[in-house]
């Protein structure tokens, strides 16, 4: 994995602007701590920061190749999981390779097929290719949006980068936000509308999209989309297909020239990945698989089951590790670690995020990095198989707003009248919700209930999952750890999209069909365990610490968040018995402590990024 950046300008000699590209690359060092590469021509320049995973000598970027008298240069962030298949096909078509890197395979794929190469790729990627003969740049992003890519146009300049911070390192780009940005931060945050970069005139290239920029215009198009049709397979075939697709995805994603491990919570998703991985390690004679889990000091004392977290992970992670014979690592963090991580997590994400949930993942990835460079994780399983509570609850299915943000009004009471007069947050979120519904590829003749379930799956895959993928990419890459997500394999996503709800809930259980597909691979009690999300701290010291810090910010008359906050309401709320208050204002994990932490991150963000509200 890597960090990429680039600058195209028809009226500036980019070859004399290497210092700017180096400034942009500097912000991406955590993504690519191993080496840096800069390439420039008269009107184009690329910067690359590399995390070495495959072919240390041959995968150097930016990479340039010439074929049939035409020259191309690439910068690329990601991994191709069908590299060997593509290389064989391209060799059969007359191409020759100088390295074993997937970067060269990707570049030669573009040389051979042009933009159509995207149909052949299985992987996670964001890349840019400059065609020297046509003076054009081609950008693309993977189908599910696992790898990030942002861009902007500033006057005659077209500028792109893996992360927003790299764009802001360019002198032409200002950290400004408008009403739209306010709507994203205060209405949808920590989620974000796909395509919106929050900062004014900064955009995200959408998943499954490509962009061609020339002297004359910019064209963006989608190259892949979910298609609705009747599911053709019976139950037995469906179960077998799921097991095959998932197993193949996991085994493909174990390829690396560096140590590989898995994240293991003891839930069905991470346990499945660990089981397939452990099996592959044994077959290849690699030795035991290393697995990692996270927990918090004194959680065994303070944990109380609730509707979202029915039981702690630790005993289950131990159970699965012992069953699979892995070398397991338990990583623990305490409240001071979580408080300290809030600013680092914000810096990694460039925006206020999931607070201690982000921060703990950042710290967790840092510990994993000491032992491995690649890790496999279970993101996307709940989105594919219907594991979240809002798939199963009537109040969520009938809501007219994103089900993970149904408590917007509770949150709004803490915002200032000035902010609420600038933008109607309810209208803004409902507008974004309706935009998502309007995109759903409905199945003709589907009954009302199944049509609504299809909408819920679409909302989760395109609006909720990106929040988690952003989180996993930024927190892991901020410490130079590459995290792969086998459930995001587009073949599995395409297949599961049309599996009917009655099959997905086989046996009357959430993710019932996945449990059946994994039968015999894991112990029955693990297969039947109720879903439990990523663990958070339950230590009351964390709530006390973030509450105290928030009140300090509100008493600081230099705080940039004061114009947006109803200070009196927050202080009155902080004086209550907070331990007894349940206010899940975002998703399953963001409750009262995370609300205070979000305000802390918002203050850090506006100060550190010098945010200007237009």
Q: Which residues are tagged catalytic?
A: 2
**Count of residues in the chain:** 614
Tokens of 500: 């009917």
As a whole number of angstroms, the longest Cα–Cα distance in the chain is 73
Q: What is the DSSP letter of 336?
A: H
4-22 as b/e: b if 16+ CB within 10 A: bbbbbbeebebeebeebbe
Positive or negative, the CA dihedral 379, 381, 387, 388 is positive
Q: How far apart are CA 466 and CA 129, in angstroms?
A: 25
Buried b (16+ CB within 10 A) or exposed e, 344-357: bbbbbbbbbbbbbb
Torsion angles phi and psi, residue 495, rounded to 5: -70, -50
CA–CA dist 280, 213 (Å, integer): 43
Q: Could you say which DSSP state residue 53 is in?
A: -
**CB contact at 8 A, 385 and 242:** no
DSSP H stretches of helix in 38-136: 83-92, 102-113
Of 364, 425, 412, 467, nearest to 595 by C-alpha is 412
Task: Tell me which residue has tokens 């690649």.
Answer: 374
Angle between helices 592-608 and 355-369 (to 10 degrees): 80
Q: Do 477 and 161 form a contact (C-beta atoms < 8 A)?
A: no
Which among 192, 272, 122, 245 is positioned nearest to 497, based on CA atoms?
245
Q: Are the CB atoms for 512 and 505 separated by under 8 Å? A: yes
The 10 Å Cβ neighbour count of residue 592 is 21
**How do beta strands 290-296 and 327-333 pair?**
parallel
Cα separation, 388 vs 446, whole angstroms:
22
CB 30 within 8 A of CB 478: yes
Q: What helix, strand, coil percent values describe the chain, rounded to 5? A: 45, 20, 35
Alpha helices in 114-253 (DSSP H): 164-168, 179-182, 235-252
Q: Strand 176-177 vs strand 482-484: parallel, antiparallel, or unpaired?
A: unpaired
DSSP assignment letter at 230 = -
Query: Residue 294: helix, strand or coil by DSSP?
Result: strand
User: Rounded to 5 degrees, what are φ and ψ at 600?
Assistant: -65, -45
CB 22 within 8 A of CB 38: yes
Contact 27, 40 (CB under 8 A): no
Which residue in this structure is represented by tokens 């004061």?
A: 562
Strands (DSSP E) found in 132-164: 136-141, 150-154, 157-161
450 is written with which tokens?
A: 């199944």
């Amino acid at each position: 994995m890597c960090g990429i950046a680039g600058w195209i300008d028809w009226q500036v000699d980019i070859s004399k602007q290497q210092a700017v590209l180096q400034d942009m690359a500097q912000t991406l060092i955590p993504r690519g701590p191993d080496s840096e590469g800069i390439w420039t021509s008269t009107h184009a320049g690329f910067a690359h920061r590399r995390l070495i995973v495959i072919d240390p000598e041959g995968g150097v970027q930016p990479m340039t190749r010439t074929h049939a008298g035409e020259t191309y240069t690439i910068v690329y962030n990601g991994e191709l999981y069908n590299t060997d298949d593509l290389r064989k096909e391209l060799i059969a078509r007359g191409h020759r390779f100088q390295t074993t890197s997937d970067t060269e395979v990707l570049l030669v794929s573009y040389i051979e097929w042009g933009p159509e190469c995207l149909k052949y790729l299985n992987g996670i990627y964001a890349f840019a290719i400059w065609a020297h003969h046509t003076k054009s740049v081609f950008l693309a992003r993977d189908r599910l949006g696992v790898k990030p890519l942002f861009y902007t146009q500033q006057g005659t300049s077209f500028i792109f980068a893996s992360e927003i911070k790299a764009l802001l390192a360019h002198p032409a780009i200002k950290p400004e936000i408008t009403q739209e940005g306010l709507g994203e931060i205060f209405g949808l945050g920590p989620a974000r509308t796909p395509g919106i970069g929050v900062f004014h005139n900064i955009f995200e290239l959408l998943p499954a999209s490509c962009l061609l920029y020339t002297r004359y215009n910019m064209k963006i198009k989608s190259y892949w989309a979910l298609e609705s049709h009747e599911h053709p397979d019976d139950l037995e075939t469906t179960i077998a297909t799921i097991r095959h697709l998932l197993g193949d995805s996991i085994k493909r994603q174990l390829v690396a020239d560096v140590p590989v491990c898995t994240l293991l919570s003891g839930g069905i998703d991470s346990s499945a990945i660990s089981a397939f991985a452990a099996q592959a390690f044994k077959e290849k004679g690699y030795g035991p698989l290393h697995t990692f889990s996270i927990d918090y000091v004194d959680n065994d004392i303070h944990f109380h089951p609730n509707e979202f977290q029915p039981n702690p992970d630790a005993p289950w992670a131990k159970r699965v590790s012992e069953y699979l014979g892995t070398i397991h690592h338990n990583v623990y963090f305490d409240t001071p670690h979580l408080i300290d991580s809030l600013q680092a997590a914000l810096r990694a994400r460039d925006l206020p995020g999931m607070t201690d949930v982000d921060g703990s993942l950042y710290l967790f990835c840092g510990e994993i990095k000491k032992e491995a460079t690649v890790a496999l994780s279970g993101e996307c399983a709940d989105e594919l198989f219907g594991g979240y509570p809002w798939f199963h609850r009537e109040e969520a299915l009938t809501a007219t707003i994103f089900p993970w943000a149904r408590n917007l009004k509770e949150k709004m009471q803490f915002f200032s009248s000035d902010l609420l007069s600038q933008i109607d947050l309810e209208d803004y979120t409902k507008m974004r919700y309706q935009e998502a519904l309007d995109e759903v590829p409905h199945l003709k003749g589907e009954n009302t209930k199944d049509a609504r379930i299809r909408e819920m799956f679409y909302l989760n895959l395109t609006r909720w999952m990106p929040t988690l993928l952003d989180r996993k990419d930024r927190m892991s890459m901020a410490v130079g750890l590459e995290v792969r997500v086998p459930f995001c394999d587009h073949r599995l996503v395409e297949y599961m999209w049309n599996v009917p709800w009655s099959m997905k809930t086989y046996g009357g259980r959430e993710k019932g069909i996945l449990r059946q597909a994994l039968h015999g691979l894991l112990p029955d009690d693990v297969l039947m365990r109720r879903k439990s999300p990523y663990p958070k701290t339950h230590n009351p010291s964390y709530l006390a610490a973030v509450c105290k810090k928030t009140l300090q910010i509100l008493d600081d008359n230099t705080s940039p968040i004061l114009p947006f906050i109803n200070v009196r309401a927050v202080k009155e709320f902080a004086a209550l018995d907070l331990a007894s208050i349940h206010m899940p204002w975002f998703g399953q994990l963001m409750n009262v402590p995370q609300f205070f932490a979000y305000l802390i991150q918002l203050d850090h963000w506006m100060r550190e990024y010098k945010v200007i509200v237009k």
